[in-house]
Amino acid sequence: MLPIVRTQDGAQESEQAVATALDELAREGARRMILAALEVEAEEYRQRHRDARDPRGHALVVHNGQARPRRLTVGTGTITIRAPRGNERRRVDEVWHKFISRILPPYLRARPRSAPCPLLYLHGLSTGDFREALPALLEADAAGISPAAITRLTATWRTE
C-alpha cells in the first residue's frame, strides 16, 4: 500500500507516488510479457528441431540457460531482460545455424515509442487478443509465430 504524506502539497505528492507505482507496474508487466513471448519463441524453435541429432544421438538444439542481462526501452521506461539462450550445433551445407529471436534480435533499433501504441490498442491488445496485436507490433516478423504460440501467450497472460 502506498504511504500518504500530509504536507501542504500532500495531494500532489500522493498523485506522484501513484503515478510512479503505475509506471513500475506497467514496466513489470511489459517485462513479464516480453519474457514469456521470448520463452515461447525459443521453445517453439527447439521443438521444430527436436529431431536433429548428432551421430552419438545427442540433441543438436538444446536450452542453455539465459543470456546476459539486456536493457530494453519500452513506453514506460527501461527494463532489464534475460532472454532464454540455446546451444545449437546444427550444420546444414557446411553452414552453422544459430537461433535469432524475431521478437528481440541482437541489435534491435528503437522505433518511435508512440507509433505502435494506437495500433496495438486498435488491434486487440486492450482485449488480450494477441492474434490481432502481434502483427501490428512485429510487422512482417509476425508471420513466423504459430497460432499455437499465440494461444500459449494468451493463456499465460490471462493467468497472470
> pLDDT in tens for each of the 160 residues of the chain?
556 556 565 555 667 777 678 888 888 888 899 999 999 988 888 888 888 888 888 888 888 888 899 888 877 788 899 988 877 777 777 777 777 888 888 776 665 555 555 555 555 555 666 666 666 556 555 566 677 877 777 777 777 7
- What are 140's three cell numbers? 512482417
With a threshold of 0.85, does the pTM exceed it?
no
- CA dist list (Å): 47 to 6, 7, 62, 80, 122: 57, 59, 10, 27, 32
**DSSP-derived pairing of the beta strands 61-66 and 84-88:** antiparallel
Domain ranges of the chain: 1-108, 111-160
